[in-house]
Every structure is written in C-alpha cells, then in structure tokens.
DNA sequence: ATTGCTGCAAAACGTTTGCACCTAT
DNA sequence: ATAGGTGCAAACGTTTTGCAGCAAT
C-alpha cells in the first residue's frame, strides 16, 4: 500500500470515534494524498470519477473533513469562497502568497510567522488550534515572474 | 451627513474611474459603515430591507466591492466560504482570532504581524497588496472566557 | 441486530448574471 | 444621446441534506 503510514493514522482516528472503517474512505484518502497541490472537494471527485471510482460526491465531501480532523490534510481558503485542501503527509508546514497578476500560489516557510499564533494566543488567553496566513501580492510582470510557468 | 469624509473618498474614487455617482451607492456606503462588526453582503441587504430601503441585492453586492477597492471596507474570510466585510473608516488595521468553542471573533493588533507581509513579499520579489492572518483557537471554558458575552 | 455509511437527487446557500428599463453624465 | 446603473428573477457553483438501501461492527 502506497500510504500505509497514513492509513494507520486514519484508521486509529476513525476507531477513536464512532466512525467505521470503509473502503470508500480509504479510496478518498489515497486520491487526496496523490493530488499534487491544492484542490477543491469537487476537483477530487472529478479526478476519482475519471479513474472510474464509484465513490459519491457526498462521501468525498464528508471524508475530506475527517482527513482534516486527523491532520492528514489542511484546509485552505484563498479568498474565493471555495474550500481547498492540501496534503500534510510528509510535508513541512507553510503559508501562501497569492499572486494577483498571474494567479500563482507561492508557498513559503517563515519561522517568525510560525511562532506568532502561539505567542498571540497566549497573550489573549486562548489555546491555538490552527492559523491561516495569506499574502495577496503582485509579481508586476508576468514575463519575468520566476514563479510563473505558462498559463 | 454622517460620513461626509467617507463620502468624499468614495466620490473621488468613483470619479477616477468611469463610475457614476448614484444615491443607491451612498445608501449602501452609509449602511456598511453603520454596521457594527463583520457582516456578509446578504446581512447588509436584510438590514437595509428592514429599514425600507429599495436598493436591490445586486446593487449591494456590487457596491461593497467598490467600497473595498477604495479601502473604506476590508474583505474578510473566517473559513466559512462567506465573504465578510468590515469598516476601515476611522479604525486601525488589525487581525482576528476566531474562538472554536464560543464562536467569538477577537480582534488584535500586533506589530510583528503587520511587518511580515512586506518583508516576505520583498524576499520573494513580489509587491504586497494585502494579507490575511487568522488564528483559530479555543477559550477552553466559555464561562471564564473574557471575550464571551452571552450566546 | 444495530447503527452508521453509502449513493443519489434534491435542496440550500451565497453570489453572479441577463435583461429591460432608468438615470447620471 | 449615450454609457453605465438599477431591480428583478433566473442561473450559477459549491456544499449539505433527506432518504432508502447497504455494510461494518
């Protein structure tokens, strides 16, 4: 199995609640971890459909939420009112810069950003759960933008 | 007029494009600046309806975007796939902590956060336009949460 | 046997659009 | 006069839901 470690995490998460272990859930997990980059629930559903999966849209939507709960996926929103997901599996945590000229989403890792949520939450007497930090910016010239590789 | 300074800003923004000065647009501006806290476009539409305004939903949606463009409003998203707006008028810029226990949205001002978007964008060779920083946290005990004031 | 999960289609939700009429310029 | 704005209702795209049948426990 390609994602045996992830399957183990997912299985023990499912067992810890009143959730059942079903083949459909693992089919969604595999497809989600296989997906390269950020995806909407429906994007994943289409990909699975094209691979002749018989898993329904409803199951895809529900399973993605479970995968977020057990932290195999992150939930993102880049200001378009669409929920996007991204695999956390074997990846380091990061944040995003969204280019308003060429549409690219650039990932970056910044230690100062990572420390702030904890610091601020403590000051306000909360316990951090997660955070989201997005920068909206412009590359000014698509032609010379080093992150742009074709439309 | 209650928001004469804002009206001036909005007017000169409208004139700078090929936009017309209409009473409907100023009606939306007044209602938006009057709104206490964060609101969705539809929330504002309902409030206006209840005050017997005859401005249409379509006009409300379109005008809010114009008000964001001229920076009288900020656009926010707290992870629910709903666009929310907030007045910038006579207010200092800030970020948000969303409590996952009691639902409160706590505003905070942190100088380190404010500096990061510029710093990171420069490093990546972009020009910042805006950013969003949300912390999702828990107050653990609604009863003792100093930000909680009733359901 | 029970309770939760599935697929399907319909509904819900926030938002955008097409269009005929109207109005600011 | 004309370009742009308006209200209305219909359409849109994403997400959720109700339900009958199915499957994991």
**For residue A45, what pLDDT is reported?**
98
A to B CB pairs, distance under 8 Å: 119
Locate the domains of chain A by residue range. Answer: 4-87, 95-137
What is the arithmetic mean of pLDDT over B33-49?
97
Report residue B135 as tokens: 């912390």
Contact A73, A64 (CB under 8 A): yes
Amino acid A78 CA to nucleotide D22 C1' distance, rounded Å: 38
Torsion of CA A65, A70, A71, A77, to 10 degrees: 20
Cα of B36 to nearest chain A Cα, Å? 22
Is A127 at the interface with chain B, CB within 8 A? yes
What is the arithmetic mean of pLDDT over A82-95?
96
Choose the CATH number for A95-137 among 3.30.420.40, 3.40.50.300, 3.30.70.1350, 3.30.1490.190: 3.30.1490.190
Cα of A74 to nearest chain B Cα, Å? 12
Contact A63, A29 (CB under 8 A): yes
Q: Which residue has the higher pLDDT, A64 or B100?
A: A64
A150: pLDDT confidence band, cut at 50, 70 and 90?
low
Q: Do domains B4-87 and B95-137 have the same CATH topology?
A: no
What's the CATH number for B4-87?
A: 1.10.10.10
Residues of chain A with Cβ-Cβ distance to B133 below 8 Å are 116, 131-134
Distance from the Cα of residue B84 to its chain's centroid: 6
């Amino acid at each position: 199995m390609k994602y045996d470690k992830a399957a183990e995490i997912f299985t023990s998460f499912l067992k810890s609640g009143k959730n059942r272990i079903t083949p459909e859930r693992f089919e969604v997990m595999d497809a989600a971890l296989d997906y390269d980059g950020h995806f909407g629930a429906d994007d994943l559903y289409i990909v699975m459909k094209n691979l002749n999966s018989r898993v329904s849209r409803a199951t895809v939507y529900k399973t993605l939420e479970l995968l977020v709960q057990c932290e195999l996926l992150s939930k993102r929103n880049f200001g378009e009112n669409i929920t996007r997901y991204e695999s956390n599996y074997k990846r380091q945590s990061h944040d995003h810069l969204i280019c308003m000229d060429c549409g690219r989403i650039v990932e970056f890792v910044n230690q100062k950003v990572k420390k702030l949520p904890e610091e601020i939450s403590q000051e306000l007497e909360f316990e951090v759960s997660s955070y989201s930090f997005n920068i909206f910016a412009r590359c000014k010239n698509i032609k010379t933008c080093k992150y742009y590789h074709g439309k």
